[in-house]
Amino acid sequence: MRTNKIFIGGKWVNSSSGKTFESFNPANGRSLGKFPQGNKSDVDNAVRAAWKAYPGWSQTPAPERAEILFTVRDLLKQNKKELAKCITMEMGKVLAESEGDVQEAIDVFEYMAGEGRRLFGHTTPSELPDKFCMTLRVPVGVFGVITPWNFPFALPAWKIAPALICGNTVVFKPSSDTPLCGIRFVELLVKAGVPAGVVNLVTGSGKDVGTPIIRHENIRGISFTGSRNTGKFIAENAGLKKVGLELGGKNGIIVMDDADLDLAVDGAVWGGFGTTGQRCTAASRVIVHKKVQKDFEKKFIARIKKLRLGSGLDSKVDVGPLVNESAVEKVQKYVGIGKKEGAGLLCGGKKLKGLFFEPTVFSDAKKGMTVAQEEIFGPVVTIIPVKNFREAIDVINSVDYGLSSSIFTRSIDNAFKAIQKIEAGITYINSSTTGAEVHLPFGGVKQTGNGTREAGMEGIDEFSETKTVYVDYSGRLQKAQDIEWGEK
Ligand code: UN1
């Protein structure tokens, strides 16, 4: 069995804990190897290495840093098929989606490499003569990057590419469900020429590795994607670090009575059951106009019945397993709650062999029911019927989250009203709730995060500080706000 190492200061080393954990293929339970169970002293070493590398990296011109990012892009491209296979084996989603995951990483490295020749600040006039004002972007310092297992290449890329282009160095903790993908990712960075200490990797649990990163006195920024509970823990424990949180969603698709129903069904199936529902942008609620509810449900269920479950490596399969045992238990728990609260089970509801779970639909749910409010992160869609557009907006906004959203309608008025009224970071018109493109900002409102955005130009803000510069060439001590002092 392959025993892996952590990566600190440019060297693959053993964890000082001496302990290991295993990662398993969720489709068949086979072990993918042993991984070091990192601890606080590994994190301390990683932080020291990251600071040691910081002066050199942060002072390298950004266009030169970008050359390395372009090489990462090229290597991801060359190895796309094989990396996708690694993703599918480790977290279960089907190969086509895993290739999409790698493609997203390719795109973001390309986009952020391009930022190496931008990283814009701005200039603006001074209120005083012979004085020049501008802003610059400067790096933050050492960043802790903590990522989930559902996009094991795209999400580390969303964070590490902008962190690097801005001149930061990184301590990276991948999810303990996908340590192998994390290692493959770092191997590729090293091959591309990322200097020693610029990216360090510590594998292990949230408690043993995540918490020491979050609380570390010498880490200046944290970028995290994952559960709301962990997000809250970070907000409470990171102190005055610059923190970016991308937490969950309870995303809704509104289907109006004038929608193209076949298109809406396509969107609901893909959004609800792609990645086995394990996306923060999953369409876990469908808010359907009563006039078309029955038609929609008939077509929706017919499509779901055709979904083939199995190993994501099999090209005929549509839906893979859930990631682990506790994910299965969580889905089972919510299905039980849905039934108890009186939502109507239209299909599915049962655990199958191993970590597979039937695609499940609840209907005639009320907006306040638990299955209409809480993130399940599995193949469960809750249908909530509404009588008009106003009620649809009320329902879609009735949750604590605000990540993605969608409306299917042929009315331009409804489309634009939805853009205006839906409380979410992302709104799709006549498309599903997933499918973010890397040159646009990604993130949510309300309890989906703390207001930061990833990807796009806004993605640079999370990983840089703004420095304000005043240059006075008047030869006098000029004072702003027109103050006269000591001059009489
Ligand atoms: C996530 O689930 O954490 O738009 C991110 C999407 C993907 C990213 C999802 N590109 O669904």
257-301: per-residue pLDDT in tens?
Answer: 999 999 999 999 999 999 999 999 999 999 999 999 999 999 999
Mean pLDDT of 237-243: 98
74 conformational bin, left if phi > 0, alpha if psi -120 to 50, beta if neither? alpha
- Token pair recorded at residue 161: 């590419």
- Which of 405, 434, 448 is the pocket-test mutation for ligand 1 (most atoms within 8 Å of CB)? 434
DSSP string, 106-164: HHHHHHHHHHTTT----EEE-SSTTEEEEEEEEE-SEEEEE--SSSTTHHHHHHHHHHH
pLDDT at 224: 98
Query: How many CA atoms does the CB half-sphere of 271 hold within 13 Å?
Result: 33
pLDDT tens sequence across 159-187: 999 999 999 999 999 999 999 999 999 99
**Domain positions in the chain:** 6-247+449-469, 252-429
Q: Give percent above pLDDT 90 in the chain.
A: 98
Catalytic residue among 246, 358, 375, 454: 246
Angle at the Cα of 252 (from 249 to 255), degrees rounded to 5? Answer: 170
Query: What mean pLDDT value characterizes the chain?
Result: 97
Number of other CB atoms surrounding residue 405 within 10 Å:
28
pLDDT at 449: 96
For range 371-395, the mean pLDDT? 98
- Among left, alpha and beta (phi > 0; psi -120 to 50; other), residue 59 is alpha
> Quick check: 191 pLDDT over 90?
yes
Residue 350 to residue 290: CA distance in whole angstroms = 27
- Residue 467, beta-bridge partner list: 136
- Residue 487 clears pLDDT 70, i.e. is over it: no
Q: What pLDDT was estimated at residue 486?
A: 84
- The residue among 209 and 1 whose pLDDT is bigger is 209
* Residues with C-beta less than 6 Å from any ligand 1 atom: 104, 150-151, 225, 279-281, 434-436
- Predicted pLDDT of residue 142: 98
Q: Under CATH, which number does the domain 6-247+449-469 receive?
A: 3.40.605.10
Name the one residue in this structure whose structure tokens are 């892009």.
73
Q: What pLDDT does 362 receive?
A: 98
Distance CA 49, CA 142 (A): 10
Distance, CA of 94 to chain centre: 18
Residue-wise pLDDT for 441-478, tens only, equals 999 999 999 999 999 999 999 999 999 999 999 999 99
Q: Extract the runs of DSSP E, i.e. beta strands, from 42-89.
A: none
The residue whose CB lies within 8 Å of the most ligand 1 atoms, and thus the one to mutate among 98, 280, 406, is 280
- pLDDT tens string 32-81: 999 999 999 999 999 999 999 999 999 999 999 999 999 999 999 999 99
HSE-up of residue 418 (Cα within 13 Å, Cβ side): 29
Compute the distance from residue 436 Cα to the ligand 1 centre, in Å.
Answer: 6
In ligand 1, the atom with minimum distance to the C-alpha of 249 is 2
Q: 336: buried, middle or exposed (CB in 10 Å: 19+, 13-18, 0-12)?
A: exposed
pLDDT at 3: 80
How remote is the CA of residue 31 from the centroid of ligand 1, in Å?
27
99 included as an active-site residue: no
- Is there a contact between 361 and 344 (Cβ–Cβ < 8 Å)? no
Contact 213, 171 (CB under 8 A): yes
pLDDT of residue 488: 64
Q: Which two tokens stand for residue 432?
A: 């599903």
Secondary structure letter of residue 195 according to DSSP: P
20/14 Cα distance (integer angstroms)? 10
Structure tokens at 132: 């020049």
CATH 3.10.450.50 assigned to 252-429: no
pLDDT at 100: 98
From the list 224, 223, 160, 225, the residue with the least C-alpha distance to 194 is 160
- 246 a catalytic residue: yes
Catalytic residue among 280, 374, 375, 454: 280
Rounded distance, CA 157 to CA 110, Å? 10
pLDDT at 344 over 90: yes
pLDDT value at residue 183: 98
* pLDDT tens digits, one per residue of 387-444: 999 999 999 999 999 999 999 999 999 999 999 999 999 999 999 999 999 999 999 9
Q: Please state, in angstroms and as integers, the Cα–Cα distance from residue 11 to each residue in 52, 67, 227, 281, following that order.
A: 14, 22, 31, 36
Q: Retrieve residue 387's tokens.
A: 């009588």
Q: Decide: 473 and 132 in contact? Cβ < 8 Å.
A: yes
Chain center to CA of 202 = 19
Q: Which helix (H) or strand (E) holds 344?
A: strand 344-347
Averaged pLDDT for residues 373-391: 98
Angle, nearest 10°, between helix axes 62-78 and 95-115?
160
- Sequence-ordered list of residues with C-beta below 8 angstroms from that of 190, at least 6 positions apart, any chain: 7, 10
